[in-house]
Amino acid sequence: MKLTRRKLATAVLIPAATALAQTAQTPPALPRNPDEEMKAARDRVKAMGDALAQQAVPMATEPAFQFKA
Amino acid sequence: MAAIGAEVFFATIPELNARLTSKEIPAEDLARAFANRLEQLGPRFNCLALPLPQQAIRKAQDVDKEIKRGRLRGPLQGIPYGVKDLISYAGQPTTWGAKPFAGQVFDYSATVIEKLDAVGAVLTGKLAMVELAGGGGYRFASASLTGPGLNPWDRTRWSGGSSSGSAAAVAAGLVPFSLGSETSGSIVTPASYCGVTALRPTYGLVSRRGAMALSWTLDKLGPFAHTAEDCGLVLQVIAGKDGKDPGSAGKSFYYTPQYARPLKELKVGFAPVDFAERAEAPARAAFAAALGVLKDTGVQLVETKLPPFPYGPVLSAILAAEQASIFEQFITSGKVDELADQGQIAGLKASLELPAKDYLKAQRVRRLIQDAFSRLFAEVDVLVAPGRSGAATKLDQRLDVGGPPAPAGAAPGFQGIIPAGNLAGLPALVLPCGFAENLPVALQIVGVPFAENTLLAIGREFQARTDWHKRRPPGM
C-alpha cells in the first residue's frame, strides 16, 4: 500500500494517541547467589531450545554456513 | 600551533580534509588537539580505553611531510580516529573491555587499522566497550573494565553497548570518526543513544582480522561518524577482500551515492506500530516527524511486515554456541569469574551446555530467514524503523529485561529487526532523527546485502533536510 503524507500521519499518530497506557514492567528478581544465577542462565539456554523446537524447518534445509574445499 | 576552534571538533571529514590539504591546519596540530581532548574528556564519559598521543603525533608528522610534497592520499589523510578496544593495534594493550584480558598485547595490527594507516588516518586512542562485547548477556551498564559508558548528552544515562566508547567519543567531539563492532545491536544501539551516525556493513564486507571474535558468522566492524557521508568515506577505506578473514565476502566498496537509484524510485517498508504504540511515548513525535522528512525526500513509504520468525532465540543460540567454542578455555579455566557482570559470567558458563542440535537448528532457521528477506526485498528496497524504541536507558537500569511493554494487541512491527538484520547479514545505517526528553533518538535504515550506497544516499538526503546530526551535547 502506497502511503500519502496524510495517511502516514493517520497511521502513526492516531494509534499513538489512542494507545492504552503502558504499564511498568516488573523485572524478575535478581538472583541471590551464583547457583541461582547459573539456574537462570541455564533456563535461558533451555528456553532458546524450546523456541527453536517450535520452528518447522524443511528437511532439505542446510545450515547457513559454508565450508569451502 | 594553529588556532583550533571548538567547531573543528565537530567538523565532518571533508571539512577537516579541506583544512588539512589547504595547510590551514597542520595534521600534527590537529592530532595534538584531538589527542589532548580525548585524553582530557574521555574519562568523563568512561569512553577512553587507551590514549595513543605519541603514536598519533608521529603519524601526523609523517602526514604533514606528505602533504607538503603534494602526496595526497584521500579524504582520511591526517584525520584522527579511535577504535573499539577489541581491535588489535600492534604492541599496545587490547583488553576486549575485560579485566582478565587487561594485559593482552598482540604483535600485529588489525586489517582495518592497516588500511586506515595506509591512507594516512591518525589513530589517537582505543575506545571503551562492554566486556567481551557482552556476548554472555550482561545485566548492567557497569559490565566493562572502564566502568559504565556515560552518555555525553546526560551522564546519568548509558551510552549504549557494546561499542560504548566508539559512539560516545564521536558524540562528544573527541574523535571525528571511530570504528566499532556489531554482533547484534552493538553499533545500532550506542549510535542511537548517543545521537551519532553509524553504519553496520553487510556481513563480510569489512575484514575482522585482528578483531576479537565473538561469533564468526555474525561479527561485523563498522564506522561511527557525524554524517552518512563520513561513514561512506570510512567504509570505502576499510572494506575489501581479506584472505586472512574466512568470512570475507571478497568485495570492495566505493562510496558513490550519486550512482544510487533515485530516491523517488525507492520503496521504503515500515510498520506504523513501531513509530506509535511500540515507541516509547516521549519519542513518538520525533519518530513521526522523521518519517515525514523521509517521505519528503521522495521515497515511497510502504506498510510492510517482517517475516515471522523467532529472531531472538535464533540469534542467541548461534551466538551462545560460537562464543562457547571461542571462549571455552577462558570459561573452563575459571578466568571468566574475573568479569565484572554476574549475568555475563553465568551466561558464558551456560553457553557451554547449548546442545549442538540447537545450534544447527538455529543455523537452518537462519537459512529460511535469509530466503524470506530475499522475498521481502523483492517488494521493498529498504526497511526503516526506530534505532531503538526510545532514548538512552538510565545507568542503573537492568538490561536483561525489556523496556516498557507495548499495549496488549499491538502488532509486532519490526521489533526483531536488529537480530533479523544481523542474522541475514544486512547493512544498516543509523541516523539521528530528533530528541525525546533532551536525549537523542534515531532511525535505522536496513537494506539488502551490499546496498550500502543506497542507504548512504538516503542518509545524505535526510541529513541535508535536518540538522539533528549537527547538534552537540551540552557543554561540548
* Interval B129-172: pLDDT, tens: 999 999 999 999 999 999 999 999 999 999 999 999 999 999 99
- Pairing state between β B267-270 and B154-158: unpaired
- Closest chain A residue to the Cα of B410, Cα to Cα: A19
- ipTM of this predicted structure: 0.89
User: Residue B401: which of A12, A27, A55 has the nearest Cβ?
Assistant: A27
**B365 interaction partners in chain A (CB closer than 8 Å):** 52, 55, 57
Q: What whole-number distance in Å separates Cα of residue B103 and Cα of residue B79?
A: 28
DSSP A21: P
Residue with cell string 552493538: B186
Determine, for residues A3 and B398 on separate chains, whether the beta-carbon distance falls below 8 Å: no
B186 has catalytic annotation: yes
Cell 494487541 locates to: B409
What is the pLDDT at residue B150? 98
- Give CA–CA dist B442/B455, Å, rounded: 14
Neighbours of B169 (CB within 10 A): 36
Least CA distance to B411: which residue of chain A?
A15
How confident is the model over B389-428, as pLDDT tens digits?
A: 999 999 999 998 877 777 788 889 999 999 999 999 999 9
CA atoms within 13 A on the CB side of B363: 19
Strands laid side by side in the B80-84 sheet: B48-51, B122-127, B80-84, B177-182, B220-225, B197-200, B428-436, B439-447, B382-386, B267-270, B300-303
Quick check: helix, strand or coil at residue B67? helix
Give contacts of B350 with chain A, Cβ < 8 Å: 38, 41-42, 44-45
What's the confidence (pLDDT) of residue B2? 75
Give me the pLDDT at residue A17, please: 43
Mean pLDDT (chain B, rounded): 97
Q: Which residues of chain A have pLDDT under 50?
A: 1, 13-24
Q: Alpha-carbon distance B180 to B87, whole Å? A: 9
How far apart, in whole angstroms, are the C-alpha atoms of residue B385 and residue B188? 11
Structure confidence by residue, pLDDT tens digits, B281-304: 999 999 999 999 999 999 999 999
* Residues of chain B positioned with their CB less than 8 A from the CB of A52: 310, 313-314, 317, 358, 361-362, 365
Residue with cell 543460540: B317
**3-class secondary structure, B22:** coil
Peptide bond into B162 cis (omega under 30): yes
Does B295 qualify as catalytic in the annotation?
no
Domains of chain B listed by start with CATH number: 6-257 (3.90.1300.10), 267-305+367-401+411-466 (no CATH), 312-360 (no CATH)
> How many Cα atoms occupy the beta-carbon half-sphere of B108 within 13 Å?
7
Distance CA A48, CA B456 (A): 35
Q: What is the pLDDT of residue B405?
A: 74
Q: Which residue from A16, A23, A38 is facing B349, i.e. has the nearest CB?
A: A38
The pLDDT score that the predictor gives to residue B233 is 98
The three cell numbers locating residue B222: 563498522
Entry pTM: 0.95
pLDDT at A25: 55
pLDDT on residue A23:
44
Predicted local confidence at residue B3, as pLDDT: 78
Q: In this complex, do A20 and B408 lie within 8 Å of one another by their Cβ atoms?
A: yes
Of B88, B162, B178, B207, the catalytic one is B162
Burial class from Cβ neighbours inside 10 Å (0-12, 13-18, 19+) for residue B356 reads exposed
| Spans of chain B, pLDDT less than 50 | none
Integer Cα distance of B379 and B101 in angstroms: 47
Across the interface, do B349 and A41 touch by the CB < 8 Å criterion? Answer: yes
Give the pLDDT confidence score for residue A18 in this predicted structure.
41
pLDDT of residue A16: 43
What is the reported pLDDT for A7?
58
